[in-house]
Amino acid sequence: MYKKLSFVIAVIMIAAMILAACGTSTSGEVTAADCGKEGVFCVGLVTDVGKVDDKSFNQTAWEGVQLAKTNGDVDWIQYIETVDSKDYDKNISTFADGGYNAIVTVGFNLTEPTYAAAMKYPNVKFIGIDQFLSKDDTHPDWPLANLVSISYNEDQSAFLVGALGAMMSKTHKLGAVCGTDAVPPVWRYGEGYKAGAAYADAKMGTTTEVTVVYHSDVGFDKTFTDPTWGADTANSMIDKGADVIFGCGGKTGNGAVDAAANRGVYAIGVDTDQYYTLPEAAARMLSSAMKPETEPVAAVLKLTADGNFPAGGIYMGPSGYAPYHDLASEVPANVDSEMQAIQKGLNDGSIKTDVPPVKPSE
């Protein structure tokens, strides 16, 4: 028995050594061991509970880090995938203790651990994604000199697709199926959508009826993960005549987008260009309200590596709308040029959405 065992082990060791030899990198390349040395810029990324290939937030953030590496702005990148929320602190400090210069933390749930780590490691730069902080009793020292949150004007992205929907609708009825409005970005999406439709009405002389439904009747664990409710709500909107459906809120919104595509009306996605992430709805995907992560993450990393870390606590990411893809032939030229004009107006400030950052309390 022991003979056999040692034989098995020997075979495996040899196999592993051969494989290891193949994988050994040539000398001169930067490795993790160089982090903390002068002139080497290392970036670590900590995911929320999830993977770097989740086709969502974790993935696009990691792509941003990879882009910074490809551009040559940073020397070494590495990620840690969180498996349990009690490991947030440990995962962040693994990078900080390893001499990393900048740490990207992805997702709302890492807000507090990131703030705490930024206080503990003043020499490390922290970049939080989807984390909302302001000066208050629990964060008296905000903004910190080494912590920045990448934020977005969701209302502007939704304003664009709202205007597009209003110009494309034949029934002049738009629907939006969203997660809970207790999350400020979701509320900004919903309000921006309405404001965009109203802007298009004023421009085109139409009257569009906009229905925005938030899934606020359930808990936070369900509100973004309820595609059945999303589909049902979208279907009832379509039954009432809506021919453009904006799905804004994780899987709940995806359910609405799928339902819209099934019924053959226009579907509008959210956050990323969902033409790619929801292939079953791609044929009816008019556009998506974009909140691109990849480029801003790479941009902030470049600033950080150059010694121009964006202070002030917040870095505004760009807003925009996704291409029409398969439906490009259905979008009239005047609508397309109007869309470009609105995008330009939002960028230079001549058009305002008039949506406040958070929902005014009743």
Partner 1 sequence: VKRLKELLNSLLVPLLAIVTAIIIGGIVIAVVGGNPFAAYLGLAQGAFGSAKALSETAVWATPYIFAGLAVALAFKGGLFNIGGEGQLAVGAVVSALIGYALPEWLHTSIPWFIHLPLTVGLGVLGGAIWGAIPGALKAYTGGHEVINTIMMNYIALNLTSFLLNGPMRDPNPLNLSAKTPDIAVSARIPPIFPGLRVHWGFVLALLMSVFIWWLLQKTTLGFEIRTVGANPDAAKYAGINVKWNIILTMGISGALAGLAGVIEVTALNYRHELGFSLGYGFDAIAIALLGKNNPYGVVLAAILFGAMRNGGTRMQFLTQIPVDIISVIQALILLFVAADAIIRFIYRIRPGEERLVLTRGWGG
Point out which residues bind partner 1 (CB under 8 A): 1, 4-5, 8-9, 12, 15-16, 19-20, 23, 32, 49, 51, 78-81, 83-87, 90-91, 94-95, 98, 108-109, 136, 138, 182-183, 218-222
Least distance to partner 1, CB of residue 316, Å = 21
* Residue nearer to partner 1 on the CB measure, 218 or 341: 218
* Residue nearer to partner 1 on the CB measure, 92 or 163: 92
* Residue nearer to partner 1 on the CB measure, 186 or 245: 186
Least distance to partner 1, CB of residue 162, Å = 25
Least distance to partner 1, CB of residue 86, Å = 6
* Residue nearer to partner 1 on the CB measure, 27 or 329: 27
Least distance to partner 1, CB of residue 71, Å = 20
* Residue nearer to partner 1 on the CB measure, 90 or 240: 90
What token pair was written down for 125? 């730069």
Least distance to partner 1, CB of residue 302, Å = 23
Least distance to partner 1, CB of residue 90, Å = 6
The residue assigned the tokens 């810029």 is: 41
Least distance to partner 1, CB of residue 63, Å = 16
* Residue nearer to partner 1 on the CB measure, 1 or 333: 1
* Residue nearer to partner 1 on the CB measure, 73 or 130: 130
Return d(Cα 134, Cα 102) in angstroms, integer.
21
* Residue nearer to partner 1 on the CB measure, 130 or 273: 130
* Residue nearer to partner 1 on the CB measure, 155 or 181: 181
Q: Give the residue from 226, 203, 199 showing the smallest Cα distance to 214.
A: 226
Least distance to partner 1, CB of residue 37, Å = 17
Q: Are 168 and 328 within 8 A, CB to CB?
A: no
Least distance to partner 1, CB of residue 273, Å = 26
Spell out the SS3 assignment of the chain. Answer: CHHHHHHHHHHHHHHHHHHHHHHCCCCCCCCHHHCCCCCCCEEEEECCCCCCCCCCHHHHHHHHHHHHHHCCCCCEEEEECCCCHHHHHHHHHHHHHCCCCEEEEECHHHHHHHHHHHHHCCCCEEEEECCCCCCECCECCCCCCCEEEEEECHHHHHHHHHHHHHHHCCCCEEEEEECCCCCHHHHHHHHHHHHHHHHHHHHHCCCCEEEEEECCCCCCCCCCCCHHHHHHHHHHHHHCCCCEEEEECHHHHHHHHHHHHHHCCEEEEEECCHHHHCHHHHHHEEEEEECCCHHHHHHHHHHHHCCCCCCCCEEEECCEECCCHHHHHHCCHHHHHHHHHHHHHHHHCCCCCCCCCCCCCC
